[in-house]
Every structure is written in structure tokens, then in C-alpha cells.
Amino acid sequence: MSLYAASLLFSAAIFSMAFLASRRSGRISVIDLAWGMGFVVSDWLVFWFFSPKTAANWMVLLLITLWGVRLTAHLHLRNPGKSEDSRYEALKTKHPSPFGRFTRVFLPQALLQWTIGLVSVRLIAFPGIGTGPIFWAGCGLFLAGFFFEAVSDHQMQAYRKNPANRGILMTRGLRRYSRHPNYFGELLMWWALFLIAAAAGAYWTILSPLAITFLLLKVSGIPVLEKSFASRPGWQEYAKKTSKLIPLPPKK
């Protein structure tokens, strides 16, 4: 079995198990946990079966593991004991049958995860990455993206825990410079992996960062959040002076 067919099978198996867990718990939100950890599990399987296990392969695997474990923990702890997100309640109504949910919700997520993860799969299984300046520059950019995502998520979680902030826009910390610093960090990490892959000649892996960029900028990331924020007091002023994605000094 080829590397990419195997990684697709791994993703399909992970989201199939997530679907079974969803059936048992009655919550579609388990798909969030399958997202981050799905990359980790799939990449470890790829590493086990296909990787030459050089220092560079190990480094990429550990970076992906760091990202996936932190993201999964954040999503798991973000809303403990709370009801299902309204987006998932809408999916339950739209796809009431188990077959519909599996084929219209879980399997497309598996395919999306596989597409985005192509760059990490390629790097983990590639024998000739090397650890030159571009490799270490890519690792540094990845860690910078990880910092932005982890810190902005932590700041938002701490802000939400204060009852006095309920219904009030979060405009402090990293969100003083970007309306979505967590998404900036996410994109920086995937483009950093592509930098390493491109240096090794795998230019086609640009599909991965392009897919996650399109998803966050045009589909389920920024558009959904900004639509939900549009009616909040102070949003228009905040949006005018604050960069949408790339952290920049606020406009006067």
C-alpha cells in the first residue's frame, strides 16, 4: 500500500471511530477531538510504517505532536459540561440519520484532514529532508505559530472565565494586534512545514497550506466568527482599527 493511500485509510479509520463515539455520546462535537489528535495518530502510524526515522523526521513528528496534543486538550477543556455548540445542533437537524451524519459530516472531515496533512506525511516519511538552515528556519516559524495559537487561546479562555466579561468583546493581549491571532498562528505553522518540504523539492505539498488557508479565511473560520461578532457593541470600531489576521499595530 502506498504512503498516501495508507494515510487516507488512517484518517478514515480515526473519523469512523469518532463517529461511533458520537453515536454513543449523542454529541457531534467529538469531531473536534478527532481533528487535532487525528493528525497525531495518523502521523505516528506513518512514522512507524514508512519513515526512515532520521533526526529531521523525528523533529517534524514531534512538532506535529506538540501542536495536536495542545489543540486537543484546549478543545476538550474549553467548554466542560456545556451543551452542544449551535453549529453541531444544526448539523443534527440537517442530518438526522446516522448514515447521513457519517457520509456528510465525518467522512468529509477525514478527507479534509488527509489533504491538509499531506505535507506533514511527506516530511515524516521522506528520507532526504536534511537539517540545513531552511529546515531550522521552518522549525522556528512553526514554533512561532504555535506560540501565537497557544497564547491567544489561553488569553481568550481566561477572559471567558470572568463573568464580568460576558458579552463583551475580547480586545486585549494578542487580540489588540489581530482579530484572529490563533488562526494566524495556525496558518504560520502549516506554511512553515511547506517551507521545509519545498526546500526538499516537494513543491506539490503546497496543497496542504492552501487548503487550511482557504478553510480558515473563506469557509468555517473567520467568516463564521465575524458574522457572530457583528452585532456586538464595539465590534465595528474594533474591526476598523485591528488587523484581521496578521498582527499589526492598531490603527489610530
pLDDT at residue 85 tops 80: no
Which one-letter DSSP state was computed for residue 85?
Answer: P
pLDDT at 79: 64
pTM for this model (two decimals): 0.93
Banded pLDDT at 1 (limits 50, 70, 90): low
pLDDT digit string, tens, across residues 35-71: 999 999 999 999 999 999 999 999 999 999 999 999 9
pLDDT tens digits for range 119-167: 999 999 998 888 899 999 999 999 999 999 999 999 999 998 899 988 8
Instruction: Report the distance separating Cα 226 and Cα 235, nearest Å.
Output: 9
What is the full DSSP assignment across 95-128?
A: --SHHHHIIIIIHHHHHHHHHHTHHHHHHHH-TT
